[in-house]
Amino acid sequence: MTKNSDCKKFYVIGLNYEKADVVTRSNFSLSKDKQKQLLSEAKKININSVVILSTCNRIEIMGFAKHPFQLISLLCKYSKGTVEEFAKVSYVFKNSDAAEHVIRIATGIESQILGDYEIVGQLKDAFAMAKEANTVNAYLERLFNVSLHASKETKNRTSISSGTTTVSYAAIQYIKDHYSKKNPKKILVYGLGDIGQSTARSCSEYLKAHEMTIINRTESIAKDLAKEIKVVMAPHKDLIDHVKASDIIIVATGASNPTVTNEMISGDKKQLIIDLSIPRNADPAINEREGINIIDVDILSKKTKETLEERKKQIPLVEEIIDKYKSEFYEWLNFRRSTPAINSLKKSLEIIQKDAISSHSKKYEDVNADLVEDVTSQMINKIVSKFAMHLKSDNTQANKSIKVMKDVFNLETTEN
């Protein structure tokens, strides 16, 4: 732990797709503004090291606190969720389990669609926001760095992401399975955040037979993307007209309230709405309309069974990679914790060395003080090095050994 952590522990509190359905996750989702407000308040109440991860599949707060309820309270304050609702579907990890959880997330092994690497970009964004808010300590910085290295090795050494099945790709696959090239459709992609842009690019690459239009509230983003992937861009003011005219509407906005409402839907044609947004941005009232089929992220995740079965075969290798980077992180942590004790031990031995040389120099005039100091300094360095290697080997034993060192040598150290 850090010196200023005041005996706080590292926690990850949150919920994900495993227990919380899309409606519940929507209740706990945090907009960018809400995340910034939460980070700001966290610092005010002396929770100085915290990162927020809010995606379509999971909402987590990771940081140092005296009790996990401090983090849970912040999440509930800035979202629409309640403590009671959170308790039914949540998880809480502490210290080493929490650190391992972050590493596992980065490898894609905990993603709703196994091997989905969209989470890596989301982790980077979460970390960047926390850095900007100055809520990242050395522990979190190292943990994120290790997690990203684990992610990179997983991608390079395994095929757990083969036949990429991200949420956006799953949407494309659904369209390919249900709509023939011989009967082209009008596709509208509305909302061009990370997922929206990824989906639009996939549409352009895999659904060339269909006619695609993209719309975004910030029109400059839509213009740049339309030029890049060579599709039609429409102004945001024409959204209703394009929703009514399209056969397939893909919604990927980050709004807190529905952006595709019942009034926008055409009454004289069948339409497919694929809602990739969290919270859901297609008004639930649309479900009552005849001829309208709404697909959300939970439904899409069920369309990838064959690919997932192949990916599952890679899990043992990914677990090996996770173990490797867990060990690397714990080794760093143990060394960091033991450094003050090692430095203090060296100083204590050097004091004993000087006293001994001084005492013997008075008794024996022919003593070569420089030679004695050189030899004993080498001995001190070897003793300190042996202790350092021992302390790095095992966390529990290291704590006991540090206590023995303190008792024997009267060391004065601070927790690091």
Residues labelled catalytic: 56
End-to-end CA separation in angstroms for the chain: 6
Distances (CA, A) of 372 to 358, 360, 382, 386: 11, 10, 16, 21
Give me the sheet containing 58-65, strands edge to edge. 50-54, 58-65, 9-16, 91-94
Distance CA 215, CA 12 (A): 37
Q: What is the identity of the amino acid at 406?
A: K
- Residues 6 or more apart whose Cβ sits within 8 Å of residue 127: 51, 136, 140, 144
> Within 10 A of 363 (CB to CB), how many other CB atoms are there?
7
Distance CA 399, CA 146 (A): 23
Nearest to 215 by CA among 186, 248, 251, 265: 251
Distance CA 178, CA 245 (A): 19
Distance CA 16, CA 30 (A): 14
Nearest to 317 by CA among 107, 163, 119, 146: 107
Q: Would you state the structure tokens that stand for residue 126, as one six-digit string?
A: 């979460």
Q: What is the identity of the amino acid at 371?
A: L
Classify the C-alpha dihedral 353-354-360-364 as positive or negative: positive
